[in-house]
Chain A
Amino acid sequence: MPDLFIAMVKEEWRIHSTIFGSLGFALFPAVVAIFAFLGSLTLPLFADVLPYAVVALLAHILFLLMGVMVGSFGLMGREFMNRRFGQASLVAYASRSLPISERRIFAAFLVKDTVYYILLYVLPFAAGFTAATPFISLDPGYGLLAFVSLALAFLLGLSAACFLSTLYAHSVALLAGTVAALAVLALAALRLGATAVPAVLPPYAFFLDPAAEPLALSLLLILVPAAVSVIFVTFEYPDRTKRFANSLDPFAERVRTLGSAHFIAKDALDLLRSEGGAGKVIFSFLLPLGLVWVCLQVLIQFIPGIDPLVVFAVLLGVISATIYNWLTEFDSFSSYAFLPVEVSEVIDAKLKSYGLANLLPATVLVLAAATAGGAGTFLPALATFLSVSAYTLAVTVYLTGLYPNVMLYSAGVFVRYLLAISPALLLLIFASIIDPYYAFLSLLLIAPAALLLSRGRTKWQAWEMPGY
């Protein structure tokens, strides 16, 4: 067991350090601690909008989801691994070729995930928060309490993901029935009383009231599903082969006037059919937008004259550019290297797909203007959104080509990305504080955006895939 555990820890380290670089990954806990420290320092500023108890709830939900994500990735992330590294072969699959039982491997896997991710995320987060407590008039003892309750929340998510994965491996119907039953139980619990949220999230209840009962309930909800998962584990998943009628041609026909119609149709099908469907794109950019909107409501109180719609448009432009990351997630130049296709043609098609997908954030801007009564500054906000979006996209394309999901983790590329974007954004925000109509200056970004896109095409056209 110790050998297996050590091999898995090494493997986990190498998976992450391959993606992010050894030093970058080694510094990751420090970054988590610093962000937790700085974030905790700002808590008093947001106290009216976000009471401490709500922040604590959000943190527990965040760690619960992280546990779910870690559990899901470990067991079902093979598609991702294959895309990134070619054929993946993990220690977790060793029972197929070595005389080690699946139960033993899986138990070691769970212990490894517990130790590894608590050290990587929970401990640094709690340390950062603890370091901030003297500055925000909180008892440092809350730091230790947060460490325990957040670790419990993480393990609850991890254990649940493993439990559901094991059910799924045995029977999809069993999984569906269990999820439905749990949903009914959770809804019933929520309807029973005013303190319902702590009742369905015992680690959070333990944070609010560090008593034996929520602690015991948390441990029970972690250990029982984990034990069931280990006892009944199997790596033989049911056949999930999906069949689809030809959707490429009908979709391409709808966007025929744009040109590159089959590339755009392929992008759409990639997004719709990959894990999470279109929801992952919406979720990944609506969540930060929600946070931005909350922050803006706070900023209004401190900075007189700020126009929230224009500032929102600036940030919306930056965040919407991340849609390009999703559009390139399932492609690489090598997919087209044996076909009569120019690299620049693939990039142009991605830009068209991006233009279509960008209608979603544009709609968000219209809704924000309508609900926040910002009709007066809608036009400068719209110009700002379009210009910033185009400029950020152009910088991304120039620096990373079709590989933003990998290359932005390179420290050098990331610094250049920040240096190219941050000054322009800050200038725009300051100008709009003086007068919201100065935001029309953002249209000046269109020229460098066009230049960067043109140079990006040339640069990536000349790029040659490494290896032999």
Chain B
Amino acid sequence: MIEANDLTKDYGNVTAVNRVSFSVTEGELFGLLGPNGSGKTTMIRMLTGQVRPTSGSARVMGLDAAKDPIGVRGLVGIIPEQETPPSFLTAEEYLRFVARIRNLDSVDERCDHWFDLLEFGDKRDVLCKDLSRGTRQKLMFSQAFLHEPRLALIDEPLINLDPIMQRTVKDFLRSYVRDGGTVFFSTHILEIAEEICDRIGIIHNGRLLHAGQIEDLVGSGRHLESFFLDLVKGDTGA
């Protein structure tokens, strides 16, 4: 589903992502872990064609992300970390707006499904600017899955959600993957990755330090936290 080859992104003198290669196969839940500013968000933005790589390439669902970004974004679902829904549309209007952009049918049913699943139907007629951060995240989650994509790329999926909703979202992601979907998400919260990921990558200073199965880590008797800290603290950036 995702093939990244030597992906590099420079912003002026800063190298945000440095020659990163990895792949994610269908039906996998892949977590990209890293401290703040390690390059996770830039990675997702390159994979979804939001920014062009300085060098290297990425193929997402068979498409070149740099050459066909609209094609990629049409196929996948994306939840950006910082973006919020438009201030002066209601929650329902925003989902309908996204549905029209994606040329979806059965819009009523799709909207109702997400309002029910994430339990925010009572906010459907509230302007997005008046929604709490948690509800905005639910809305962004809903827009990403509204067209039932086979691949979702999510930047910090559980941010601003309460523990009950975090459980709901984690359960949804697991069932989504069981049904053949693929998830690529970034986070700096290790417990989430340890709980739901099949495979993880650890990125620091723009370089991918590790990629492997969570099972292998657990099988070797190591905790993800100590493994992560050893790896990141031992990384001299060479």
Q: Do A262 and B100 have beta carbons less than 8 Å apart?
A: yes
Contact of A270 among B11, B16, B88, B101 (CB under 8 A): B88
Q: Do B92 and A246 have beta carbons less than 8 Å apart?
A: yes
* A272, closest chain B residue (CB): B88
Task: Tell me which residues across on chain A come within 8 A of B73, comparing CB atoms.
Answer: 338-341
Task: Tell me which residues across on chain A come within 8 A of B83, comparing CB atoms.
Answer: 334-335, 337-338
Interface size class of B (residues with CB under 8 A): 35 or more
Q: Do A270 and B86 have beta carbons less than 8 Å apart?
A: yes
Known: A242-B130, A273-B127, A337-B80. A248 touches B101 (CB 8 A): no
Give chain B interface residues in 1-60, CB to chain A under 8 Å: 9, 11, 14, 16, 39, 41-42, 45, 48, 50-52
CA distance A341 to B92 in the complex (A): 20
Is B151 on the interface with A (CB-CB < 8 A)?
A: no
Q: Do B87 and A274 have beta carbons less than 8 Å apart?
A: yes
Q: Do A244 and B125 have beta carbons less than 8 Å apart?
A: yes
**A19 → B minimal CB distance (Å):** 19
CA distance A341 to B98 in the complex (A): 10
Q: Do B80 and A243 have beta carbons less than 8 Å apart?
A: no
Is A429 on the interface with B (CB-CB < 8 A)?
A: no
Contact with A along B135-177 (1 / 0, CB 8 A): 0000000001000000000000000000000000000000000
Contact with B along A239-253 (1 / 0, CB 8 A): 011111111110010
**A267 → B minimal CB distance (Å):** 10
Contact of A79 among B39, B87, B93 (CB under 8 A): B87
**Could you say which of A118-126, A198-206, A284-292, A459-467 contacts chain B?**
A459-467
Is B82 on the interface with A (CB-CB < 8 A)?
A: yes
Contact of A468 among B9, B48, B52 (CB under 8 A): B9
Contact with A along B86-110 (1 / 0, CB 8 A): 1111101100111011100000000
CA distance A273 to B90 in the complex (A): 11
For the complex, count residues of A whose C-beta is within 8 A of B: 36
CA distance A358 to B147 in the complex (A): 36
CA distance A341 to B103 in the complex (A): 12
**B63 → A minimal CB distance (Å):** 12
Task: Tell me which residues across on chain B come within 8 A of A293, comparing CB atoms.
Answer: none
Known: A262-B97, A340-B101, A464-B52. A246 touches B90 (CB 8 A): yes
**B45 → A minimal CB distance (Å):** 8
* B153, closest chain A residue (CB): A338
Residues on A facing B (Cβ under 8 Å): 79, 83, 86, 240-249, 252, 261-262, 266, 269-270, 273-274, 330-331, 334-335, 337-342, 464-468
20 contacts between A and B (CB under 8 A): A241-B126, A243-B125, A244-B127, A245-B125, A247-B93, A248-B89, A269-B88, A269-B89, A273-B127, A274-B87, A331-B86, A337-B83, A338-B48, A338-B79, A339-B73, A339-B101, A339-B102, A340-B101, A341-B101, A464-B52
